[in-house]
Structure 1
Amino acid sequence: MIENFNKASTSIKNWAEDDRPREKLAIKGCEALSDSELLAILINNGTKEKSAVELAKDILQLGSNNLNELGKLSLKDFTSIKGIGQAKAITIAAALELGRRRQAANALEKIVVRKSNDIAEFLRAKIKDYSYEVFGVLFLNQANKINHFEIISSGGITGTVADPRIILKKALDADATSLVLCHNHPSGNLKPSQADEAITYKIKEAAKYFDIKVIDHIIVSEDGYYSFADEGCI
């Protein structure tokens, strides 16, 4: 009898209508819901032991109750919680990625690149959460507006390799007249390495043969960004 009562009490269907996440959202709007309630809607249903909201709270704890930290977690991290299978983990990861893309799109809208901070927040939103290093390029047109952004390569925790031939081919395909190189430092250290300086010089010199300018190389991390142009290194 006690076991049956506990099972019933964990079911969201047995809650007051105003306390059910979906109904609450419909009546009061998204803003009225807590992070755990919003996550519970994605999870859809709980287990015999825990409601969807309780599972959502467990997931938030994985990210230290911080959505930015949550966005760095993998499917394997999510499925470490009993009651969160592959399908639920994929739904959560997809929602977090949509949030990341929305943030990046807002930062990118109608940007004309004149200085590093015009695009630094866009780049941070795009690549700072990777636990391994990735190398990306912004392809700009003659008016210095962004035509395209693409991650060119990815590597380990300590570095990645960027092939100038691939970058320049993509630049020509995108009709780019200038480029902004970028990569992340998962360690948080923003200081460029000798390898960072070498690849910047190599791509810059190669691009000259096609009348394409490399106007900056930006390193991003959770703590901010480093601009080669701002530091007079390009």
Structure 2
Amino acid sequence: MRKFSIKDWAVDDQPRKKLMQRGSSALSNAELLTILINNGNAFLSANDIAKHLLMASENSLQKLAAMSVKDMVNLKIKGLGEAKAIAIAASLELGIRRQADPIQQKQVSSSKDVAGYLQNTLQFLQREVFAILLLNRANRIIHFEIVSEGGITGTVADPRIILKKALERNATGIILCHNHPSGNLKPSHADEMLTKKIKNAASFLDILVTDHIIVSHEGYFSFADEGML
């Protein structure tokens, strides 16, 4: 029986063979996408579709991860329909979740203890969201939750909802967090006013607002680190 080499495989199958022989880390981004896309059409191979998709996202996995299924379909790449876009979006989301360290019960002593988790969780969202981390007396995280979602340019967080959730969990500390889809990490005047409002309201309930962290694909900004609390 003739022994087939990787050159004998169809273009779309070669990345699968390479992964089996050398492991996933040996594959390029285009080859990994080729496996997710699975098959091409009469116009483009799966590998060609993957390359077109990467070109459309400026060869940036961060920008690709920020795309919705609709965004990918709207690129009008022949052979990239909704089903393939869903598979790619799901895979990228798994990658984001894998990067996020387990956060529950982690003890917080500085912004660095949570900034990486918050950035990995929120940085690729195309809309602005407001989230909270609730802490117990030992400064351990007991709960994480997105409490409001807005548009591309902003979101509104209700202090009453935040404090209600803190009371329900018997939290003694709160870390506020929101993302800036634009990448800009500088807090706005509204961000500063909201932080003061929540901090003042929480103090009447003996709950301490320990930080407000802004995250984006550029990094993070900590109100506590900058002496703004």
Measure how far apart 1:206 and its partner are: 1.8
Q: Contact 1:136/1:149 (CA < 8 Å) preserved in 2?
A: yes
1:112 equivalent in alignment to 2:114: no
Question: Which consecutive segments of 4 or more residues in structure 1 shift more than 4 A?
Answer: 16-19
For residues 173 and 93 of structure 1, the distance between their equivalents in structure 2, rounded to whole angstroms, comes to: 34
1:31 equivalent in alignment to 2:25: yes
Partner of 1:93: 89
Partner of 2:163: 168
| Alpha-carbon spacing, 1:178–1:24, altered in 2? closer, same or farther (3 Å) | same
Structure 1, unaligned stretches of length 5 or more?
1-11
Measure how far apart 1:93 and its partner are: 0.5
Question: What letter is aligned with 2:137?
Answer: Q
Q: SS in structure 1 opposite 2:101?
A: helix
Partner of 2:47: 53
Measure how far apart 1:18 and its partner are: 11
For residues 23 and 109 of structure 1, the distance between their equivalents in structure 2, rounded to whole angstroms, comes to: 39
For residues 140 and 215 of structure 1, the distance between their equivalents in structure 2, rounded to whole angstroms, comes to: 9
Measure how far apart 1:156 and its partner are: 2.0
Partner of 1:44: 38
For residues 48 and 72 of structure 2, the distance between their equivalents in structure 1, rounded to whole angstroms, comes to: 14
Measure how far apart 1:17 and its partner are: 9.3
Q: Contact 2:66/2:126 (CA < 8 Å) preserved in 1?
A: yes
Determine which of 111, 127, 132 is the counterpart of 2:122.
Answer: 127
TM-score, L = length of structure 1: 0.86
Measure how far apart 1:158 and its partner are: 2.2
Structure 2, unaligned stretches of length 5 or more?
1-5
Count of residues in Structure 1 that have an aligned counterpart in Structure 2: 222
Determine which of 141, 155, 163 is the counterpart of 1:146.
Answer: 141
For residues 161 and 78 of structure 1, the distance between their equivalents in structure 2, rounded to whole angstroms, comes to: 29
